[in-house]
Amino acid sequence: MRMFLKIAIVMLALTLGNVAYGQLQWRETNRDIPKRSLTDPRVTDGIEIYGYNGVIYIKTPRRIAVRVFTILGQNVSQATLTPGTHELKIGSRGIYIVKIGNLTQKVAL
Q: How many CB atoms lie within 10 A of CB 101?
A: 11
The per-residue pLDDT for 95 is: 92
| Sheet-wide strand order for 84-89 | 26-28, 84-89, 55-60, 48-52
CA–CA gap between residue 96 and residue 109 (Å, rounded): 8
The per-residue pLDDT for 100 is: 92
Per-residue model confidence as pLDDT tens for the chain (109 residues): 677 666 656 555 554 444 445 557 888 887 766 655 444 443 467 888 888 888 898 989 999 999 999 999 999 999 999 999 999 999 888 999 999 988 899 998 8
Domain residue ranges in the chain: 24-108
Q: CATH for 24-108?
A: 2.60.40
- Element (H or E) spanning 14, and its range? helix 2-21
The per-residue pLDDT for 23 is: 59
